Structure 1
Amino acid sequence: MSGIGELPSSTTRRVIKGEILPVNPRQTIAFLKACCMVRHTDLEPWLAAAARAHAHLGADNEWDTAYQKLPAQVEKNRHEQKGDA
């Protein structure tokens, strides 16, 4: 069983084996976090590459949106960890 932001082990296994790719930004971020890539500096290049790969979908696609929102989400998480929320 998986929690919020986590992937089922079967999905993780299939991504690692190259059978599937993450289908959306949430799944991509969950997979990267499972691989211990949790900092903004870890996630940013992956989301940037995905946004470029999906650019043909237009500027308002979910990949571009996730990439654009990453800095704000990082800042929000930083404040929540400090108890500023």
Structure 2
Amino acid sequence: MGDAFYVSHNKYAEVNVALKAQLQKMDTIMGDLNGTLSRIEIASGGKATPLWEHLQQTWNRSYEEMTQMLRMHVDSSLIVAETFLHGDDAGARVMT
């Protein structure tokens, strides 16, 4: 009866796998974009630096904040799934 208490959480684990995959895909795309943007100074021979520097710094801060927030939300979703599983396990122990 130990596993008879298991509750299906509507494929929540699959959602988290897909969420992690999309985060990784987004990281790749944003990393490529960030790399391209960081080379503007080189491509312009340094002439665009006075115009571009402030925008590059703003982009870098925004990029870091967005990445941290997305990772935090993915981690939170994984923690919720783990909490559900521990709750199921605790419920099964009570029922046996």
TM range (shorter): 0.3 to 0.5
Larger radius of gyration: 2
Q: Which structure ranks higher in relative contact order (CA pairs < 8 Å, sequence separation ≥ 6)?
A: 2
TM-score with structure 1 setting the length: 0.34
Higher relative helix content: 2
TM-score with structure 2 setting the length: 0.31
